[in-house]
Amino acid sequence: MAVGFDKGFQMHAQGMVLRTQRAEVIASNIANADTPGYKAQGMDFKEALAQASRQQQATIYKSNEKHFDIRTGSEDFLKYRVPDQPDTGDGNTVDVQMERNLYLENSLEYQASVQFLNGKIKAYKKVISGGQ
Amino acid sequence: MSLFNVFNISGSGMSAQSTRLNTTASNIANADSVSSSAGETYRARHPVFAAAMQEAAAGQQSATGVKVLGIVESDKPLNVEYSPSHPMADKDGYIYKPNVNVIEEMTNMISASRSYQTNVQLAESAKNMLNKTLTLGQR
């Protein structure tokens, strides 16, 4: 098929899944903004996306249940943030202002993906209906 | 869908912050409660927050909510006042006032209510993201 649906959607689909995960990570940072000793985490988006595409490409056929799964341990793209302010004394490294901005940015990027997908779907619909 | 987890996480944050607001309200309300012995006197209460790690480890999730481990009473010294004419005074003429620092409690209240608002906004924007996704390709 010349126009591959999954080829058109693929990058956005993976990106959206990762963005929801990222939203989750940032939400837990903000929820724990007052927890003593909590260390803020962040997602290495480039690494995460690369890992997701690698997994997508490398789906192997298993003819025996003893065959190894090639999936590597996921979530090693989650890293601890380096605080840019000194410790206030309770060991917490969450910067709420920064996290809020990151969350906003993340949700805008997610909505951008949704919009792009909407456009694609519209285009496909036009193709299917023969432009009518 | 992991976006639904944002609701759980921000919900845990909201309930933790409202516990904090509750203790603050109780502290301020009792700031002037007087008693005639050190044992009966109200002491400032504060919640202890902790990341909900156990549940996260069980569900293999990277994101963690927050939970209130418990409420501890402050062990700061009580305010003992010499006031023999007070009806609650003990036999030596002392009354015992709580160790609540009202200024500290007010700042605590502002911080708690701001944190609560931040969590509400998180849930709100997660809701918007989900709404956008639900209407994907409908127009």
Q: What is the pLDDT of residues B52-67, one digit of tens each?
A: 875 555 555 567 889 8
Contacts of A32 in chain B (CB under 8 A): 13, 49, 51, 64-66
Contacts for B100-107 with beta carbons within 8 Å, 24 or more apart? B100/B27, B100/B28, B100/B30, B100/B31, B100/B42, B100/B44, B101/B44, B102/B28, B102/B31, B105/B24, B105/B27, B105/B28, B105/B31, B105/B44, B106/B28
Q: Are the beta carbons of A27 and B129 separated by less than 8 Å?
A: no
Between B110 and B59, the more confident residue is B110
Give pTM, 2 decimals. 0.77
Distance from CA of B131 to the nearest CA of A (A): 10
Contacts of A122 in chain B (CB under 8 A): 137, 139
In angstroms, the CA B41 to CA B35 distance is 6
ipTM of the complex: 0.73
Contacts of A102 in chain B (CB under 8 A): none
Specify whether the CB–CB gap between B14 and B66 falls below 8 A: no
- So what's the pLDDT on residue A1? 47
- So what's the pLDDT on residue B57? 55
- Share above pLDDT 70 across residues of chain B, in percent, rounded to a whole number: 92
The single-letter code of the amino acid at A2 is: A
Between A6 and B134, the more confident residue is B134
- So what's the pLDDT on residue B126? 92
The domain limits of chain B are: 3-134
In angstroms, the CA B10 to CA B120 distance is 7
DSSP state of B35: B
Between B19 and A45, the more confident residue is B19
pLDDT tier at B103, thresholds 50, 70, 90: very high
Residue of A nearest to B125 (CA): A107
Residue of B nearest to A110 (CA): B129
In angstroms, the CA A48 to CA A116 distance is 21
Q: Are the beta carbons of B66 and A100 separated by less than 8 Å?
A: no
Distance from CA of B44 to the nearest CA of A (A): 19
The torsion angles phi and psi of B49, rounded to 5 degrees, stand at -95, 150
Task: Report, as ranges of residue numbers, the positions in chain A whose pLDDT lies below 50.
Answer: 1
- So what's the pLDDT on residue A109? 92
Token digits of residue B11: 């919900």
Report the DSSP beta bridge partners of residue B73.
B45
Chain B residues within 8 A (CB-CB) of chain A?
1-3, 5-6, 9-10, 12-13, 16-17, 20, 48-51, 61-66, 111, 115, 118-119, 121-122, 125-126, 128-129, 132-133, 136-137, 139
